[in-house]
Chains A and B, each alone.
Chain A
Amino acid sequence: MEEDNIRVGVFVCECGMNIAGTVDCEAVKESAAKIPGVVVSVKNKYTCADPGQEEIKRLIREHNLNRIVVASCSPRMHESTFRNCISQAGVNPYLLEMANIREHCSWVHLHEKTAATEKAADIVGIAVAKAKLLQPVEETRIPVTHAALVIGGGVAGIQAALDLADSGHKVYLVEKQPSIGGIMAQLDKTFPTMDCSICVLGPKMMDAGKHRNIELMAYSEVVKVNGYIGNYKVTVNKKARFVDEKECNSCGECAVVCPVIVPDEFQHGFASRKAAYIPFPQAVPASHIIDMKNCLGNNPVRCNKCVGVCEKHCIDLNMEDKLVELNVGVIIVCTGMDVYDPRALDEYGYTRFHNVITTMEFERLICGGGPTQGNLLRPTDHKVPKRIGFIQCVGSRTVNRGNPYCSNVCCMNTIKDSLLIKEHYAGTEIYVFYMDIRAYGKGFEDLYRRSKEEGVHYIRGFPGEVTEDPVTRNIKVRVENTTTCLVENYELDMLVLSVGLQPDSELKKLSNLLNVSLTSDGFMMEAHPKLKPVDAPTPGIFFAGSVEAPKDIKDSVTQAGAAVSRSSIILNADIIKGDGVKAVIDNSKCTSCGVCAKVCPYNALEVDIKAKSGAKVIMAACAGCGACSAECRFDAITIRGFMDDQIMSQIDSALAVNPQNKIVSFLCNWCSYAASDVAGISRMQYPANNRFIRVMCSARVTEKFLWHAFELGAPLVLLSGCHIGDCHYITANHSTQKRADRMWDAMEKLGIRPERLQLEWISAAEGPRFVEIMQELEKLRGKVTKEEIEHTQKALAEREKEKAKAA
């Protein structure tokens, strides 16, 4: 649209006395009216209220307005309200710009009325400058594939798959082991209800195995993921089982004739199995499998005994892995957790003393379906132990060896185990060595009380020494009881290490495939820890169960329900609407260098470097962070709603008058801008010299913007965003840090003090830190002299001349 056809309406809100109490709104309205392009400038008591909105609509019609600036509160508060309002009057909702004169001005400069009014007029000027260059934006519309992929068939994955399937959605359930069930399938009884684990889980496993909407892919792994919310293309490697699982009726004849005997991993090595085997009696799919690593069928001798004995001819020793392509709209990750390996903490003797076992091994020993048919026998002499000790927190809550966090279920598991022992062998003496007992859930404290009433001894202190009597193979434990302050010695028949829980060893690999982040402890990261607790930051990907953090069965199942409900929002829609803020490529400038694709945290850019066909944006995947745009050296990418010329004009406007007194700050929408709002809401006061420019992500701020501010005489520039690790756009702010590093180097080369570009990570909660930074910036600004600014401008002008010459 030609500049002449731009007709801006400015609506200055008094917000009762919230703005008008500090800012002279009449003066702001008048100053806006003088800006070229502004056709009408009015003042309202409350612009967001019905009369205010009606006035906007009326003036749009009367004055044929095509760009709207509302000067009021934060856009984080009312942008959607006003977008909705102007679209009702026939104006594209993206032709609105808000000037935040409340949180950024009246509330934070309560005692500086003149400075606040001047700043408010500047804020409106900056908004008008951008508004004049706004372009209509259409929201993206993404068609949805009506199917879901659930990765991991533990209790969380089974529950998620069943819930989705019951509500009519097609589900692919991919499990890497030969059977679904996860850890729960290996447990004996479960706290707090003490019910039989496989009796609860078994029927669910069977339901999942035969549900008409569930396609179970056991012994399979996801190897490739492409696409975006609503349209993921997933490649699954269905590993060769060497037995046709659909035909096999688990008669077990193959296992009978198989000559190979190996330790049974399901029984933690306390029993053996054949190379032709079924993982456990309740396995789903209820099919045998050939363990080809140990099979003699093909190599080195041709055994083939199982093939001969199988009447249904299900066995094919030449079967090969198969790649299967799936199209799904959503992905739910339920890959669970691993148990801590106590070999690293050898002072407890796990690798040296056979009568030291883990809680997981204990589960198999006490289980009726276990290697000893539920008879608790100690490994060395197969006698029933009379004195059993438990050491808590093995590999948990330790910074040096193991994991720093609490593993959540181990205290309750030990309490459960102590009651199981008492139930089977009432006379057993039980000692639990602990730091503190965490029994926070429903019914947990009751169970703890019962355990103490049954005579289980809880001793506060971790053993400093664990030795073995070489003759009896008993375990001797020396511990400082921190309640009595006495060093105590115990002789035990068996010692159980209550091992902690940790992320699955292959989660990192899977997270790379899915392009999702992990938290510092290696579990899945939430899009928002409070408001989106089962969403991954990548849209359309959810998770449930202990893949997010160690948790018990009830919480895993609850999370599965939550993930299903979040997924259903997408699966129930034919089309989902996406935000209009997206990357746009100018193919006349793009050289297909591929830099943009490397920095995009969402894999939303496709560049065929060889074909030189120009970068392409996958609109549905692009989140609009702008990292690509800032990194493109050919100015070939811009971001709708945050175009280069729009931001440049904001900088021009911010520094139009008395630039030497102004600090230009780029704030990211999600964290540092939110923190500035918190400062405002809390009425924290800071100097009025700062001029803010909102971007969606700090990664959007190109070097060009920063240089431009210095060219115009800015004494100081702030670049700020979310803390590293908290970026709303996964890792986009890594580009910001790298860019700041490049800028500092370049500034130094040009004789410009690097100190004049400040970088701060400020979380949405850090209002006080935001204010402190504003105060510190003002001190730094005071140190920048007029001569220094002039020198900078000269150096930059020189640089431009040289560039022009070289061109």
Chain B
Amino acid sequence: MAKDHFKCLRCGITYELEADPDGKLKERICPKCKSNSVRKLKAQ
């Protein structure tokens, strides 16, 4: 399963999630601080 990588621009953590096969836009929520300032990082 492909993964998407994210970085929270509030608390700074990075995390990954399974990529949505439909590419549908979903709300991003930092699992640590609950901020939506979550940046999708370019594929690594």
Q: Which A residues are within 8 Å of any B CB, using their own CB?
A: 723-725, 734, 737-738, 741, 744, 754-755, 757-761, 773, 776, 780
The minimal Cβ–Cβ distance linking B5 to chain A, given in whole angstroms, is: 13
The minimal Cβ–Cβ distance linking A701 to chain B, given in whole angstroms, is: 15
- In the complex, what distance in Å separates the CA atom of A757 from the CA atom of B39? 11
Contact in complex: B39, A741 (CB < 8 Å)? yes
Contact in complex: B36, A734 (CB < 8 Å)? no
Contact in complex: B39, A744 (CB < 8 Å)? yes
- In the complex, what distance in Å separates the CA atom of A755 from the CA atom of B35? 12
Known: A759-B36, A761-B36. 9 other contacts (CB 8 A): A724-B26, A737-B28, A754-B9, A757-B9, A757-B37, A758-B10, A759-B9, A760-B37, A776-B35
Interface flag for B27 (CB, 8 Å):
yes
Contact in complex: A754, B25 (CB < 8 Å)? no
Q: List 17 A-B contacts (CB under 8 A).
A: A724-B25, A724-B26, A734-B25, A737-B28, A741-B40, A744-B9, A744-B39, A755-B10, A758-B9, A758-B35, A758-B37, A759-B38, A760-B35, A760-B36, A760-B37, A773-B35, A776-B35
Residues of A within 8 A of B26 (CB): 724
Residues of B within 8 A of A754 (CB): 9, 39
- In the complex, what distance in Å separates the CA atom of A724 from the CA atom of B38? 13
Residues of B within 8 A of A757 (CB): 9, 37
Residues of A within 8 A of B28 (CB): 737
Name the residue among A759, A761, A776 with the largest chain B CB count within 10 angstroms: A759
Residues of A within 8 A of B39 (CB): 741, 744, 754
- Secondary structure of the A contact surface, majority rule: helix
- Tell me the nearest residue of chain B to A761, going by C-beta: B36
A interface footprint on B28-44 (CB within 8 Å = 1, 0 otherwise): 10000101111110000
- In the complex, what distance in Å separates the CA atom of A412 from the CA atom of B10? 49
- In the complex, what distance in Å separates the CA atom of A744 from the CA atom of B7? 11
Contact in complex: A725, B35 (CB < 8 Å)? no
- Secondary structure of the B contact surface, majority rule: loop
Residues of A within 8 A of B36 (CB): 759-761
- In the complex, what distance in Å separates the CA atom of A754 from the CA atom of B40? 12
The minimal Cβ–Cβ distance linking B31 to chain A, given in whole angstroms, is: 16
- In the complex, what distance in Å separates the CA atom of A758 from the CA atom of B26? 17
Contact in complex: A759, B40 (CB < 8 Å)? no
Residues of B within 8 A of A760 (CB): 35-37
Residues of B within 8 A of A723 (CB): 27
- In the complex, what distance in Å separates the CA atom of A757 from the CA atom of B38? 11
Contact in complex: A759, B37 (CB < 8 Å)? yes
Contact in complex: B27, A724 (CB < 8 Å)? yes
Tell which of A737, A755, A780 touches B25, judged by Cβ atoms closer than 8 Å.
A737
- In the complex, what distance in Å separates the CA atom of A754 from the CA atom of B39? 9
A interface footprint on B9-20 (CB within 8 Å = 1, 0 otherwise): 110000000000
Q: Which B residues are within 8 Å of any A CB, using their own CB?
A: 9-10, 25-28, 33, 35-40
- In the complex, what distance in Å separates the CA atom of A77 from the CA atom of B25? 33
- In the complex, what distance in Å separates the CA atom of A723 from the CA atom of B10? 18
- In the complex, what distance in Å separates the CA atom of A429 from the CA atom of B37? 60
The minimal Cβ–Cβ distance linking B35 to chain A, given in whole angstroms, is: 7
Residues of A within 8 A of B10 (CB): 755, 758, 776, 780
Tell which of B9, B27, B33, B40 touches A761, judged by Cβ atoms closer than 8 Å.
B27
The minimal Cβ–Cβ distance linking A718 to chain B, given in whole angstroms, is: 9
- In the complex, what distance in Å separates the CA atom of A741 from the CA atom of B28? 12
Residues of B within 8 A of A744 (CB): 9, 39
- Tell me the nearest residue of chain A to B26, going by C-beta: A724
- In the complex, what distance in Å separates the CA atom of A757 from the CA atom of B9? 8
- In the complex, what distance in Å separates the CA atom of A706 from the CA atom of B22? 30
- In the complex, what distance in Å separates the CA atom of A65 from the CA atom of B44? 60
- In the complex, what distance in Å separates the CA atom of A773 from the CA atom of B11? 12
- In the complex, what distance in Å separates the CA atom of A156 from the CA atom of B27? 34
Residues of B within 8 A of A741 (CB): 39-40
Residues of A within 8 A of B27 (CB): 723-725, 761
- In the complex, what distance in Å separates the CA atom of A758 from the CA atom of B28? 13
- In the complex, what distance in Å separates the CA atom of A407 from the CA atom of B2? 34
The minimal Cβ–Cβ distance linking B33 to chain A, given in whole angstroms, is: 8
- Tell me the nearest residue of chain A to B25, going by C-beta: A734
The minimal Cβ–Cβ distance linking A34 to chain B, given in whole angstroms, is: 38
Residues of B within 8 A of A773 (CB): 35
The minimal Cβ–Cβ distance linking B9 to chain A, given in whole angstroms, is: 5
Residues of A within 8 A of B38 (CB): 759
Residues of A within 8 A of B25 (CB): 724, 734, 737-738
Residues of A within 8 A of B33 (CB): 776
- Tell me the nearest residue of chain B to A769, going by C-beta: B34
The minimal Cβ–Cβ distance linking A720 to chain B, given in whole angstroms, is: 8
Residues of B within 8 A of A759 (CB): 9, 36-38
The minimal Cβ–Cβ distance linking A667 to chain B, given in whole angstroms, is: 14
The minimal Cβ–Cβ distance linking B22 to chain A, given in whole angstroms, is: 12
Residues of A within 8 A of B35 (CB): 758, 760, 773, 776
- In the complex, what distance in Å separates the CA atom of A773 from the CA atom of B33? 10
- In the complex, what distance in Å separates the CA atom of A176 from the CA atom of B1? 40
Residues of B within 8 A of A761 (CB): 27, 36
- In the complex, what distance in Å separates the CA atom of A522 from the CA atom of B10? 33
The minimal Cβ–Cβ distance linking A736 to chain B, given in whole angstroms, is: 10
Residues of A within 8 A of B37 (CB): 755, 757-760
- In the complex, what distance in Å separates the CA atom of A744 from the CA atom of B28? 15
Residues of B within 8 A of A737 (CB): 25, 28
Name the residue among B9, B35, B37 with the largest chain A CB count within 10 angstroms: B37
- Tell me the nearest residue of chain B to A737, going by C-beta: B25
Residues of B within 8 A of A734 (CB): 25
- In the complex, what distance in Å separates the CA atom of A634 from the CA atom of B10? 33
The minimal Cβ–Cβ distance linking A366 to chain B, given in whole angstroms, is: 42
Query: What are the 8 A-B residue pairs with the smallest beta carbon separation, nearest first?
Result: A724-B27, A755-B9, A758-B37, A759-B37, A761-B36, A734-B25, A744-B39, A760-B36
- In the complex, what distance in Å separates the CA atom of A776 from the CA atom of B8? 13
- In the complex, what distance in Å separates the CA atom of A734 from the CA atom of B36? 13
The minimal Cβ–Cβ distance linking B29 to chain A, given in whole angstroms, is: 9
The minimal Cβ–Cβ distance linking A746 to chain B, given in whole angstroms, is: 12
The minimal Cβ–Cβ distance linking A777 to chain B, given in whole angstroms, is: 9
Residues of B within 8 A of A776 (CB): 10, 33, 35
- In the complex, what distance in Å separates the CA atom of A793 from the CA atom of B27? 31
- In the complex, what distance in Å separates the CA atom of A741 from the CA atom of B9? 12
The minimal Cβ–Cβ distance linking B34 to chain A, given in whole angstroms, is: 8
- In the complex, what distance in Å separates the CA atom of A237 from the CA atom of B21? 33
The minimal Cβ–Cβ distance linking B43 to chain A, given in whole angstroms, is: 14
- In the complex, what distance in Å separates the CA atom of A757 from the CA atom of B35? 12
The minimal Cβ–Cβ distance linking A692 to chain B, given in whole angstroms, is: 18
- In the complex, what distance in Å separates the CA atom of A741 from the CA atom of B41? 9
- Tell me the nearest residue of chain A to B34, going by C-beta: A769
- In the complex, what distance in Å separates the CA atom of A744 from the CA atom of B39? 8
- Tell me the nearest residue of chain B to A718, going by C-beta: B37
The minimal Cβ–Cβ distance linking B7 to chain A, given in whole angstroms, is: 9
- In the complex, what distance in Å separates the CA atom of A773 from the CA atom of B34? 10
- In the complex, what distance in Å separates the CA atom of A760 from the CA atom of B33? 12
- In the complex, what distance in Å separates the CA atom of A741 from the CA atom of B33? 19
Residues of B within 8 A of A755 (CB): 9-10, 37
The minimal Cβ–Cβ distance linking B30 to chain A, given in whole angstroms, is: 11
- In the complex, what distance in Å separates the CA atom of A534 from the CA atom of B2? 40
- In the complex, what distance in Å separates the CA atom of A699 from the CA atom of B10? 21
- In the complex, what distance in Å separates the CA atom of A758 from the CA atom of B39? 10
- In the complex, what distance in Å separates the CA atom of A754 from the CA atom of B37? 10
The minimal Cβ–Cβ distance linking B20 to chain A, given in whole angstroms, is: 13
